[in-house]
Amino acid sequence: MKNIIHIAFILLCFLGTAILVTSCGKGKNTENNQNDNNNESKNEVKTIYTGEFNADSAYMFLEKQVSFGARVPNTPAHNLCGAYLVSVMSRYADKVYEQKATVTVYNGTSLPLHNIIGVFNPNQKRRILLTAHWDSRPFTDQDDKDKFKAVLGANDGASGVAVLLEIARLLKQYPIQNIGVDILLNDVEDYGAPDNYKPEKEDTYCLGSQYWAKNPHVKDYTAEYAIVLDMVGGKNATFYREQVSDEVARALVDKIWNKAAQLGYGIYFLNEKGGGVTDDHLYIHTLAHIPAIDIIDHNPSRPKGFPEYWHTQRDNMSNIDKNTLKAVGATVYAVLREL
């Protein structure tokens, strides 16, 4: 579109002092010390390590996608990247579904569609949907040159997928028991009509999510929430509270933006109102009836809202920042585990 303290050493010093004092005291004091130690044991909190979002890993997933070239449907680069994404998702998910169909784009052309869905904890009824598109724009309609050249889509497409693949790796290594997670990598999202195309047509973007919403990978599928990631790897990215997201799932928006601030990522997640964006979350909500939000680099003060390289040949690896990938990935993963 669109600090580890050396606790063992401290305990050893403490216990050594306790033994010295007890051996010089009376029996009553010994009993009290034993009771105190028992109380301390009962009050211990067991910390379970749940992994940390690795920005280097996410960057690798992003770089690999871009290495295939522009992932425009019905091209060799698209086919190769699709096979790669299936192989990665198959490594991590409990189940993988592939949706293959034919869709008609704005100009009447029929194109193959390939949605890829990774399912984690499939028997859990309470579910969360995470999604991003993996295709890239077939033409450069936001620049005065190279208008018929496909966009590489490092940020617009590959960044969201990269973050989700890293989250998939963490879910494999550190499973979440109380919820199920579905990761939808949707296709043919960025084949919408160019600016000023006549006659004007609606709903020409997000064809993969539209198809999935009408034909979910599991019959009668539903989720508590859906989170869309779009353009989440750019330098100096800003994520405002997108209007539709605020209207349909404000509680989730609050949770994510508050968590980002808590983790120190408030410079990215600006707790301010932004404009509405036509993106996958819109169709997931209206067609699949799942409250959906969009985390997208969109600043209402920009001329077109999106980064200046949006839908141009400059959407390449030079504009990708690991710090942004970390901010988004760590925030979403933390909220996911708290849900």
Q: Dmax of the chain from CA atoms? A: 95
What is the model's pLDDT at position 10? 32
pLDDT for residue 23 = 32
Partners of residue 268 on adjacent β-strands: none
Terminal-residue alpha carbon distance, the chain: 28
- pLDDT, average across residues 268-274: 96
DSSP 159: I
- Residue 145: what pLDDT? 84
Distance in angstroms (rounded) separating the CA atoms of residues 72 and 28:
79
Q: What percent of the chain has pLDDT over 70?
A: 86
Report the residue count for the chain: 339
Residues in a beta bridge with 101: 113
Asked if pLDDT for residue 5 goes beyond 50, the answer is no
- 151 SS3 class: coil
The closest of 239, 87, 225, 104 to 160, measured between CA atoms, is: 239
**Does the pLDDT at position 297 exceed 80?**
yes
| Percent above pLDDT 90 for the chain | 80
pLDDT above 50 (res 42): no
- How far CA 184 is from CA of 8, 9, 45, 92, 128, in Å, comes to 44, 47, 36, 14, 11
Q: What is the pLDDT of residue 144?
A: 80
Q: 86-144, pLDDT tens digit by residue? A: 999 999 999 999 999 999 999 999 999 999 999 999 999 999 999 999 999 999 999 88
317, 157 Cβ separation under 8 angstroms: no
d(CA 18, CA 31): 12
Which residues 6+ apart lie within 8 Å of 246 measured at CB? 253, 273
Q: Domains (ranges, CATH) in the chain?
A: 7-42 (no CATH), 55-338 (3.40.630.10)
How many Å apart are CA 183 and CA 84, to the nearest integer?
A: 15
Question: Cβ distance 175 to 169 under 8 Å?
Answer: no
- Which amino acid is present at 244? V
DSSP 209-237: HHHHHHS-SSTT---SEEEEEES-SBTT-
124: amino acid identity, one letter: Q
